[in-house]
Chain A
Amino acid sequence: MFETIKEFASEFFVTGDPMILGAQVSIALAMVAIVFVLTYFKKWRWLWSEWLTSVDHKKIGIMYIICSILMLFRGGVDALLMRVQLAAPELEFLHADHYNQIFTTHGVIMILFMAMPLMFGLFNIIVPLQIGARDVAFPFLNSFSFWMFFAGAMLFNLSFVIGGSPDAGWLAYPPLSELTGSPGVGQDFYIWGIQISGVGSLASGINFVVTILKMRAPGMKLMKMPMFSWSVLASSVTIMFAFPILTVTLFLLFLDRYVGAHFFTVDAGGNPMMYLNLIWMWGHPEVYIVVLPAFGIFSEVVATFSKKKIFGYKSMVFALMSISFFSFFTWAHHFFTMGSGANVNAFFAVTTMIIAIPTGVKVFNWLFTMYRGKLSFPTPMMWAVAFIPCFVVGGMTGVMLSVAPADFQFHNSYFLIAHFHQVLIGGVVFGYFAGLYYWWPKMFGFKLHEGLGKWAFWFWNIGFYVCFMPQYALGLMGMTRRFNEYNFDMGWQPLNVVSTIGAFLMGIAFIFQVWQIAHSIRFMKKENTGDNWGQGRTLEWSIPSPAPFYNFARTPKVVAQDDWWEKQQRRERGEADPAEVIAADNAPLEPIHMPKNSGIPIIMSGFWFIAGFGFVWDWTWMVVLGLVGVAVSMLARSFNYNDDYYVQVDEIERIEAAAARGAN
């Protein structure tokens, strides 16, 4: 009996590695500590009713952001481990299998469990406020999306301590990711972690398309919509078309592994190349999914801190939508070297270059938004300005990679690694940081400490260039990605050392940010004025910070593109608002229709987690249990008619009065 348990445990848990043992122990300790704190302070009920079951888009957004910061830590530690391993030739720090796991999880986590939730967090918090809505179109679905993401992310991360991490690269090319190449459960954790969270992403995409198309305040024509909301629309439409491809692709890979199908195997008529095509048909749009909202953030931040209207609004909208369209026609540039022939390569080279055109136009428009403006440089604006040169270089190297015959020399080398980190960090991460700093006071009612923020900014920026510029050079030296070691004779060491130093500088920057958040929570002054920066342009700044749970006491009437800014300008000039605005502002308060909190999303996602875990280990009883739980949760949802309520006028009055007092 004891022997069987021991045998099972040694297969179930990852054993024999001191680093992972340390992780297991600290995870267990952290869980005990959390349970203890919640019990000691009697916070379980509060946590459940205020957060876990909440359908409030702002709270869901905050939970997304907390998760993404935790995932940034995990992915960042992975990155530092890799950089340490590469700092010297033939170093014995990480074994090959361990290194392979780490670069795989680094990639998956940073894209799917760091960038995506940070993006959805900002979507959630800002979009309804910006378009004058009380919530997203489907609040219950929104909560479900978050918990599906959470379940998927946890399932994926669990593989680190239970069963073993996936190690076939972040896109898991077959036949390496098939049973023949990866017999362990790591690859199954990969499939189900991504699959479950992918359903959440798809649902979020649909939710935001509907929210933006149907829930805008009266008067907000599409062409008066703030640029961030436009970018969310572009990104969400892309999600709607791209994520089903991912789901189907991973499902086929699952069938290969689980029931012995032969979609992507090398034998029995399978075709691994089909997987490469399919995964990149999702994978390429995916990078635009994460970068388009960053473009939107830059547009907001640059306009606000230049005290000036965004330049070339129509061009910007057209550029966003055309990038989202063309992103679906470039996927084969990820494998020019597959030898598909000159016709195919020429086509995909040209479509890839075309994307540079609208992107270039956006850069010019940001520059000319600043031109003839009045620029101030608080941290959000610093990130936005740092983004421009960084992204220009990243875009240029992207164009270099799109030149198919030259790509034969860049492909899979560190040149490529440097390029995509430059657009993903310099574009996406810088952008989301700008957004996070910019909207932080809107979320919490206080600003983040500027001094610490500046330290973080400089460490991030200097660290970034020190880390990734040498990697372009290493690529030209012939250094291939995913090497866990290299020969001394290649002369790669000096630049690798420089690169590792840069990575640690970014690690220090992250510590500054954590410090900054902790310090600001403790010491920063509450400022409940709605317009925390004093020069906000769009509707989210017209209501108190943090926004009341119903957002807008009265539905606003929109007359201009930068509605809030125009209103302030009218006030300064002593002009009266248009009659319809006055009417809307002075309309009598009415009871507000709101969705009720629900525990079903978290429970249903929990059952998905159980089903996924069962699939990973091929435990049928567990799969059945999980899927039955999912079905029961769905039934419970469909027969629950008590899912809404009205906020009464006197409560609204009380909350509004309190907010007005706080503002004074």
Chain B
Amino acid sequence: MRPVFRKLSAMLSVTLLLILTGCSNEKYLVLDPKGPIASAQKDLILITVAICTAIAIPVFIITAVIVWRYRERPNSKASYKPNWEHSTKLELTWWGIPIIAIIILAIVTVNYTYKLEPSTAIQSDKEPIEIQVTSLDWKWLFTYPEQGVATINYVQMPVDTPVRFKLTSDMAMNSFWIPSLGGQLYTMSGMAMTLHLLADEEGSYYGSGANFTGEHFAQMTFTANVTSQEEFDAWVEDVKATEAALTEEDVVKLKEKGTHEVAQFSSFPDNVFYDIMMQYVEEGEKGAHAHHVTTSEDAEASEHQHH
């Protein structure tokens, strides 16, 4: 089954691109993956396109033929059977066709759903690094607990290294999406969601907040800069050496409604991510989703359960 799909999807990807683009592939971020997650999602998209077209094209042809052949005209040779209304054989056929197609698609989907579950770590020789992502009205704050630096409206990450994004939101629900690297996940107040992504090619990729959060939501785009490990380390050193620290007062300002320039900081207040995440949860209370992780230790623990 698999190789057939591969072939079909390869063929279809070519036709799809020819139809859709007529120009360069690069603009189609979803179809031009730069990492294993986006790549698997693209495969899946092409498989579904293949299954769907396999049914749709015959339906189009049948429609055209029937409409043409049975149109009312003088001396029509087409048969006319006004009371022909049932045929068990035919009806079983077209209950059967979609049922089989859906069973195939369901098997593929369920399989991929578990494989691409965003909280599942990506297989790699390298240890994953953690980047904490906070959506605020209307800017993105990225904090790098292992490096101790912070950025606004861009994220810096090394190539070929799995990144464990921890996602939360200060207020309204947003969605963290870097199409070239993989699908999106909601950022929600009161919980830390986990999204694993990996970039296998260096470059600057477009990212956006995909869920509407009010007035200047369109300004919540960001860049994901993927560089070599050396360049990433140099960048960290540079930020630490030249930039100011993100202070508690800065964080208070960030929470105010408004847009923000691209920025970077040499350090950030301890636990700023968890403080924002837990800000509405009163002591002793479990919070909105008790089963979602609440501290970084819990995060580690739950991480291990997935393996």
Contacts and interface: CB of A to CB of B under 8 A. Distances in A.
B90 to A, nearest CB: 7
A403 B76 CA distance: 45
A346 B109 contact: yes
Interface in A254-277: 266-273
A540 B229 CA distance: 75
B28 interface: yes
Interface stretch (A145-153, A481-489, A573-581): A481-489
A321 B256 CA distance: 50
A477 B66 CA distance: 37
A311 to B, nearest CB: 6
Contact of A309 (B67, B82, B189): B82
A29 interface: no
Contacts of A365: 91, 94
B60 A181 contact: no
Contacts of A411: 175, 183-184, 210
B158 interface: no
Interface in B80-114: 80-86, 90-91, 94-95, 97-99, 102, 105-106, 108-110, 112-114
B66 A371 contact: yes
Given A97-B215, A373-B82, A478-B179, A315 B91 contact: yes
A308 B66 contact: no
A350 B95 contact: no
A25 B21 CA distance: 46
Contacts of B288: 266, 269-271, 273
Interface in A470-522: 472-473, 475-478, 480-487, 490-491
Interface of B: 20-21, 27-31, 38, 40-42, 44-45, 48-49, 51-53, 55-56, 59-60, 62-63, 66-67, 70-72, 76, 78-86, 90-91, 94-95, 97-99, 102, 105-106, 108-110, 112-119, 171-173, 175, 177, 179, 182-186, 188-190, 193-194, 206, 208-218, 221, 280, 282, 285, 288-289
Interface of A: 96-97, 100, 167-169, 173, 175-176, 180-181, 266-273, 306-315, 335, 337-339, 341-342, 345-346, 349-350, 353-354, 356-357, 360-361, 363-365, 367-368, 370-377, 385, 388-389, 392-393, 396-397, 399-400, 402-413, 472-473, 475-478, 480-487, 490-491
A269 B287 CA distance: 6
Contact of A408 (B60, B84, B184, B218): B184
Contact of A339 (B29, B98, B118): B118
A597 B104 CA distance: 57
A337 B72 contact: no
27 contacts: A100-B215, A176-B212, A266-B280, A272-B189, A315-B91, A315-B95, A338-B188, A339-B119, A342-B117, A345-B117, A346-B109, A350-B109, A360-B98, A368-B90, A370-B67, A372-B81, A374-B82, A405-B40, A405-B116, A406-B45, A407-B183, A408-B182, A408-B185, A411-B175, A480-B209, A482-B217, A486-B218
A60 B305 CA distance: 61
A282 B208 CA distance: 29
Q: Which one of A354, A361, A385, A477 has the highest number of Cβ atoms from chain B below 10 Å of its Cβ? A: A477
A349 B98 contact: no
Contacts of A407: 183
A478 B222 CA distance: 13
Given A360-B98, A367-B66, A483-B218, A176 B41 contact: no
Contacts of A485: 218
Given A176-B172, A370-B67, A478-B30, A169 B218 contact: no
Contact of B184 (A97, A357, A412): A412
Contacts of B48: 399-400, 403, 406
Contacts of B99: 357
B94 A266 contact: no
Contacts of B91: 312, 315, 361, 365
B105 to A, nearest CB: 6
Contacts of A181: 171-172, 214
A477 B60 CA distance: 27
Contacts of B106: 349-350, 353
Nearest to B137: A181
A507 B45 CA distance: 33
A484 B218 CA distance: 6
A335 B62 CA distance: 36
B82 A307 contact: yes
A248 B258 CA distance: 34
B121 to A, nearest CB: 14
Given A271-B288, A353-B105, A353-B106, A405 B214 contact: no
A266 B171 contact: yes
A350 to B, nearest CB: 5
Given A268-B280, A367-B66, A370-B66, A476 B20 contact: yes
B18 to A, nearest CB: 12
A480 B218 CA distance: 9
Contacts of B40: 405
A374 B44 contact: no
B235 to A, nearest CB: 23
Contact of A370 (B28, B70, B76): B70
A312 B116 CA distance: 41
B113 A405 contact: yes
Contacts of B81: 308, 372
Nearest to A561: B85
A341 B38 contact: no
A53 to B, nearest CB: 43
Contacts of A400: 45, 48-49, 52
Nearest to A310: B85
A308 B116 contact: no
Contacts of A306: 70
B13 to A, nearest CB: 12
A513 B182 CA distance: 45
A267 B211 CA distance: 20
A579 to B, nearest CB: 23
Given A313-B85, A339-B119, A353-B109, A374 B80 contact: yes
Given A338-B186, A408-B118, A308 B82 contact: yes
A373 B30 contact: no
Nearest to B110: A346
B202 to A, nearest CB: 19
Contact of B210 (A270, A338, A363, A480): A480
A384 B305 CA distance: 54
A341 B214 contact: no
Contact of A399 (B62, B67, B105, B216): B105
